[in-house]
C-alpha cells in the first residue's frame, strides 16, 4: 500500500464514512507497509476498525478491545461523566456487564481513590477487561451478573453501573453488520423488549448498594420509561439524564435510605 491517499481511497470505496480519520488510525497503528496492507484488507472486509487495530478511544483513553468483544461506544461516556460528578471520595464502584471494562477503566483513572470492580459473563470480555482495568488498580470478576461479585461488596456499593445489552431480540438482525457479525449476541440481545437485563439488574441492585447508593443504566430514549419502571418496581427513586452531543440516555436509580452527598466540584 503506497500512500495514505490510497488507503483513504480504499476505505472510501468500501463505504467507510470517516475514511480520512480511519486511514490515520490504521497508518498510526501499523508497524510496516505490509502490516498496513493487511489491516486495510481486514477493514475493507468489514471488520470493525477497533478490532483491526486492537483498541478503541474512550474518554481519551486507549481501551484494548479484543476480537469478539463489544466495542465501547462514545455514547457510553455519559455513564462515566455522571459517575465522576456523583462519586464521593473513596467510592466503591461496580461495572456490571463490563465488556472491555471501558467504563470501569475510565472511572478508575478519573477517580483514583475509588475501589473499582467490573464483571462480565463472557470469558473473552473478562480477559480483555483484566488487561485494561487491573493495571489501573481495579478488579475483574467472571460470572452471570452479580453472581460474579465478591460477597463482601454486599450493601457497600456506592455506584453500580451497567451498559448491559438492550437491543430487542427482533431488532438485532437490523443492526449494522459490524455489530451483527463481529460482536457476540450475548453483548447485544436484551430479550423481547430489550429490557430483560435491566429488570434483572434493578432487582439485584438494592442488595449490593448501600442506602442512598446509585444505579446507573445506559438505555435508549424509547426504552428509558421501561428501564425506570424496573427500578421503581424495586423501591428506587429515579432520574433521567441525557446528552444530545453523545446521543446518550442514562436512567439513575437511588436505593432507599439516607441521601448521599454529591462530590464537591472545586
Ligand atoms: C452492550 S455490551 C457493553 C459492554 C461494556 N459495558 C461497554 O459499554 O463497552 C454488554 C456486555 O454485557 C455482557 N453480558 C451479557 N449478559 C450478561 C450476564 N448475564 N452477566 C454478565 N454479563 C453479561 C456481555 O458479555 C457484554 O460484554
Average pLDDT over residues 187-198: 98
Ligand 1 pocket, 253 CB below 6 A? no
CATH code assigned to 74-254:
3.40.50.150
Alpha-carbon distance 51 to 70, whole Å?
Answer: 9
Alpha-carbon distance 115 to 118, whole Å?
Answer: 10
Ligand 1 pocket, 81 CB below 6 A? no
Ligand 1 pocket, 55 CB below 6 A? no
Residue nearest to atom 24 of ligand 1 (CA): 187
Ligand 1 pocket, 70 CB below 6 A? yes
**239: which strand partners?**
252
Above pLDDT 70, what percent of the chain? 96
Average pLDDT over residues 6-13: 96
Task: Of 261, 252, 146, 255, give the one whose Cα is nearest residue 210.
Answer: 255
Residue 248, by phi and psi: left (phi above 0), alpha (psi -120 to 50) or beta? beta
Alpha-carbon distance 112 to 115, whole Å?
Answer: 8
What pLDDT, on the 0 to 100 scale, is given for residue 3?
85
Ligand 1 pocket, 183 CB below 6 A? no
What pLDDT, on the 0 to 100 scale, is given for residue 264?
38
Pocket test for ligand 1, best of 99, 163, 168 (most atoms within 8 A of CB): 99
Average pLDDT over residues 218-235: 98
Average pLDDT over residues 172-200: 97
Query: Residue 223 has what DSSP assignment?
Result: T
Cβ-based neighbour number of residue 85 at 10 Å = 11
Of all atoms in ligand 1, which is nearest to the CA of residue 69? 27
Q: Answer yes or no: is pLDDT of 73 > 60.
A: yes
Q: Answer yes or no: is pLDDT of 259 > 80.
A: no
Cβ-based neighbour number of residue 174 at 10 Å = 8
Q: Please, what is the average pLDDT of the chain? A: 95
Write the CA distances from 13 to 18, 42, 101, integer angstroms.
12, 14, 33
pLDDT digits (tens, 9 = 90+) for 115-174: 999 999 999 999 999 999 999 999 999 999 999 999 999 999 999 999 999 999 999 999
Pairing relationship of beta strands 157-162 and 209-219 according to DSSP bridges: parallel
Three cell numbers, residue 232: 421503581
What pLDDT, on the 0 to 100 scale, is given for residue 1?
52
What pLDDT, on the 0 to 100 scale, is given for residue 265?
37
Average pLDDT over residues 30-50: 96
What pLDDT, on the 0 to 100 scale, is given for residue 2?
57
pLDDT digits (tens, 9 = 90+) for 143-159: 999 999 999 999 999 99
Of all atoms in ligand 1, which is nearest to the CA of residue 162? 6
What pLDDT, on the 0 to 100 scale, is given for residue 22?
96
Q: Answer yes or no: is pLDDT of 68 > 80.
A: yes
Pocket test for ligand 1, best of 73, 120, 147, 184 (most atoms within 8 A of CB): 120
Three cell numbers, residue 96: 456490571
pLDDT digits (tens, 9 = 90+) for 81-110: 999 999 999 999 999 999 999 999 999 999
The domain segmentation of the chain, as residue ranges, is 4-64, 74-254
Task: Of 110, 2, 105, give the one whose Cα is nearest residue 55.
Answer: 105
Residue 95 phi/psi, 5-degree rounding, is: -115, 100
Separation of 126 CA from ligand 1 center, angstroms?
Answer: 10
Residue 245 phi/psi, 5-degree rounding, is: -60, -40
Write the CA distances from 19 to 41, 56, 75, integer angstroms.
14, 16, 21
Separation of 138 CA from ligand 1 center, angstroms?
Answer: 17
Separation of 36 CA from ligand 1 center, angstroms?
Answer: 31
Cβ-based neighbour number of residue 153 at 10 Å = 18
Q: Answer yes or no: is pLDDT of 12 > 60.
A: yes
Ligand 1 pocket, 224 CB below 6 A? no
Ligand 1 pocket, 64 CB below 6 A? no
Separation of 147 CA from ligand 1 center, angstroms?
Answer: 14
Quickly list H helices, 19-168. 19-29, 33-44, 49-53, 77-86, 102-110, 123-133
Helix (H) or strand (E) holding 95: strand 92-96
Q: Answer yes or no: is pLDDT of 263 > 50.
A: no
Amino acid at each position: 500500500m503506497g500512500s495514505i491517499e490510497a488507503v483513504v481511497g480504499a476505505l472510501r470505496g468500501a463505504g467507510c464514512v470517516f475514511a480520512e480519520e480511519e486511514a490515520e488510525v490504521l497508518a498510526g497503528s501499523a508497524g510496516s507497509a505490509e502490516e498496513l496492507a493487511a489491516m486495510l484488507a481486514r477493514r475493507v472486509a468489514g471488520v470493525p476498525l477497533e478490532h483491526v487495530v486492537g483498541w478503541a478511544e474512550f474518554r481519551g483513553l486507549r481501551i484494548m478491545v479484543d476480537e469478539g468483544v463489544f466495542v465501547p461506544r462514545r455514547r457510553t461516556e455519559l455513564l462515566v461523566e455522571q459517575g465522576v460528578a456523583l462519586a464521593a471520595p473513596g467510592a466503591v464502584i461496580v461495572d456490571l456487564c463490563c465488556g472491555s471494562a471501558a467504563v470501569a477503566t475510565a472511572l478508575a483513572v478519573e477517580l483514583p481513590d475509588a475501589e473499582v470492580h467490573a464483571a462480565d459473563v463472557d470469558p473473552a470480555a473478562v480477559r480483555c477487561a483484566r488487561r485494561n482495568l487491573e493495571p489501573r488498580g481495579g478488579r475483574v470478576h467472571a460470572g452471570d451478573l452479580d453472581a460474579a461479585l465478591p460477597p463482601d461488596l454486599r450493601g457497600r456499593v456506592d455506584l453500580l453501573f451497567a451498559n448491559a445489552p438492550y437491543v430487542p431480540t427482533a431488532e438485532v438482525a437490523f443492526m449494522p453488520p459490524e455489530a451483527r457479525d463481529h460482536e457476540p449476541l450475548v453483548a447485544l440481545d436484551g430479550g423481547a423488549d430489550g429490557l430483560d437485563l435491566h429488570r434483572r439488574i434493578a432487582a439485584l441492585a438494592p442488595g449490593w448498594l448501600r442506602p442512598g447508593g446509585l444505579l446507573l443504566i445506559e438505555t435508549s430514549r424509547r426504552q428509558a420509561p421501561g428501564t425506570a419502571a424496573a427500578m421503581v418496581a424495586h423501591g428506587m427513586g429515579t432520574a433521567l439524564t441525557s446528552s444530545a452531543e453523545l446521543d446518550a440516555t442514562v436512567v439513575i436509580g437511588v436505593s432507599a435510605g439516607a441521601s448521599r452527598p454529591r462530590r464537591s466540584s472545586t
